[in-house]
A and B are shown apart, each in its own frame.
Chain A
Amino acid sequence: MMNYAADVAGLRVLRGGRTVLPDIDVRIDTGSVTGLLGPSGCGKTTLLRCLVGVQRIEGGSVTVLGQPAGSRALRDKVGYVTQAPSVYQDLSVAENLKYFAAVLGAPRGDAARVIELVGLSGRERDLVGRLSGGQRARVSLAAALLGAPQLLILDEPTVGLDPVLRQDLWGLFHRLAGQGVTLVVSSHVMDEAARCTHLLLMREGRIIAADAPDALLRRTEAKDIEQAFLTLVAQDAKAQAADVQDADAANGAGQ
């Protein structure tokens, strides 16, 4: 029995000579909708890239569905949607999805199924380059839904979408989770947090809290997740300052 869809231990990542993730330990429950929240530039995308297995890592381990991230066996089980839609602008919606379906070895007719799932029925023949930004993002999402992914890594999938559509997509995410799919969804918009079953709050390359949304609210006595996040950031900053003081004190004692 596999309780964790992903297990990250001691993960350390450098990008361009800078430490982006100093030391991350995190577990993601199977069948959860886990929100990865934090300000832009805090390392969310890098962590997601590690889960997909496309990020070169400096140390630690990333285990996904019981295998090292990026393993050959995971290539048709992990769906990844990058922040910028990664689909062919010069192909139609249907052509894009038929190609990715062929690469994934998904059954015929799967393209039509995912087009309907993301609400793009009727736009099959439109060139992706002529769609709006939100529609393009949904084509990219549809490609990740092809076949039977067990883990979906979605980097800001709802940015730029209108409220109705966002509601629909979150409905879809929860339906998928109900079927046993695990979703990791990043966002820098805190009001998305309430829609998740689990939250990871991230700041400057570290996970400062990992819990269910209501547990976080109780713990911080905050009205909403945004306030909870601010409270946690303040606590975290205080703890860090104390650590530095302790370290200074220890150094001082040693001299």
Chain B
Amino acid sequence: MSVTRTLATSRRVLGQLRHDPRTIALLLVVPSVLMTLLKYMFNGEPGVFDRTGAPLLGIFPLIVMFLLTSVATLRERTSGTLERLLTMPLAKLDLLLGYALAFGLLALIQAAVVFGLTLGPLGLSVAGPTWMLFLVALGDGLLGTALGLFVSAFAATEFQAVQFLPAFILPQFLLCGLFAPRDSMATALRWISDALPLSYAVEAMDRITAETGVSALAVRDLLIIGGSALVALGLGAATLRRRTP
């Protein structure tokens, strides 16, 4: 592993995005518009926005980074650049961490813009510290990146890669506690929900919304998100092969 190679990889990934300003615009504008929509959809019941606003702030980075990474790595696989990199003195970890750094930074920038809008003009009130919100958003962004890296190994085309979003993320989205309290789910679903990382992303955001200060449980949630991201990165590394059939 080498810091120079990891940073060079991050710089390269960000460079690719810099040449694609529309993607960056979509990245920043879409969550902002959706949050505004949510605010005025529940104009008559402000409690709903206060309750669901923060969890959604945690879900955006995960979904967006998942999509970006799965398509970016699939491109890397199909264009032959991955094979070229693996014939060079680049450690797999350099590549994975390079991607994680680049997309982690992107998740933070997205969070800064969307949080600025949501906590400012849209008036979402959160009891806990704002930096904790950023930390969870960063964790979710990294988890999305790691899952995207892993899942892209199973996609042969960009059509398939895009379909992995509903396949991998939508079930988590339904079971994460945003639509129905997790305690009220059928027992089997409750168990599945316990095993899915997105549940903890939403739970962490819930706690930060409701509790002042940083509770031990919020820290636990954050550690689970980080741990899941590491496991997914490990699985992603296992799909990178220097020798192929």
Is the CB of B20 closer than 8 A to any CB of chain A? yes
Q: What range describes how many residues of A lie at the interface?
A: 20 to 34
Q: How far is the CB of B242 from chain A (nearest CB, A)?
A: 7
User: Size of chain B's interface in residues, with CB distance under 8 A?
Assistant: 25
Q: Which residues of B contact A99 (CB under 8 A)?
A: 8-9, 11-12, 15
Whether the Cβ atoms of B83 and A95 lie closer than 8 Å is: no
- Minimum CB distance partner of B16 in chain A: A90
Is the CB of B90 closer than 8 A to any CB of chain A? yes
- Minimum CB distance partner of A52 in chain B: B87
Is the CB of A172 closer than 8 A to any CB of chain B? no
C-alpha spacing A164/B85, complex, angstroms: 31
Q: Which of B71-115 contact A (CB under 8 A)?
A: 79-81, 83-90
Whether the Cβ atoms of B87 and A80 lie closer than 8 Å is: yes
Q: How far is the CB of B176 from chain A (nearest CB, A)?
A: 33
In the complex, how many residue pairs between chain A and chain B have their CB atoms under 8 Å apart? 81
Whether the Cβ atoms of A91 and B87 lie closer than 8 Å is: no
Q: Which residues of B contact A90 (CB under 8 A)?
A: 16, 19-20
1/0 contact string of B6-29 vs chain A (CB within 8 Å): 001101100110011000000000
Is the CB of A220 closer than 8 A to any CB of chain B? no
Q: Which residues of A contact B19 (CB under 8 A)?
A: 90-92, 127
Q: Which residues of A contact B85 (CB under 8 A)?
A: 103
Q: How far is the CB of A106 from chain B (nearest CB, A)?
A: 10
The one of A53, A55, A84 that contacts B80, using a Cβ cutoff of 8 Å: A84
Is the CB of B244 closer than 8 A to any CB of chain A? yes
Contact stretch, chosen from A70-78, A191-199, A222-230: A70-78
Is the CB of A82 closer than 8 A to any CB of chain B? yes
The one of B12, B20, B79 that contacts A95, using a Cβ cutoff of 8 Å: B12
Chain B binding surface, main DSSP class: helix
Whether the Cβ atoms of A70 and B89 lie closer than 8 Å is: no
The one of B16, B81, B243 that contacts A86, using a Cβ cutoff of 8 Å: B81
The one of A86, A89, A104, A105 that contacts B83, using a Cβ cutoff of 8 Å: A86
Whether the Cβ atoms of A75 and B89 lie closer than 8 Å is: yes
Is the CB of B190 closer than 8 A to any CB of chain A? no
Q: How far is the CB of A80 from chain B (nearest CB, A)?
A: 5
Write 25 A-B pairs (CB below 8 A) sorted by A numbering.
A53-B87, A53-B243, A54-B242, A54-B243, A55-B245, A56-B244, A70-B242, A72-B89, A75-B87, A75-B89, A82-B80, A82-B84, A84-B80, A86-B83, A86-B84, A88-B16, A88-B79, A88-B81, A91-B15, A99-B8, A99-B11, A100-B84, A103-B8, A103-B88, A127-B19
Supply 10 further A-B pairs (C-beta < 8 A) apart from A80-B84, A91-B19.
A53-B87, A54-B242, A75-B89, A86-B79, A91-B16, A99-B8, A102-B8, A103-B9, A103-B88, A143-B84
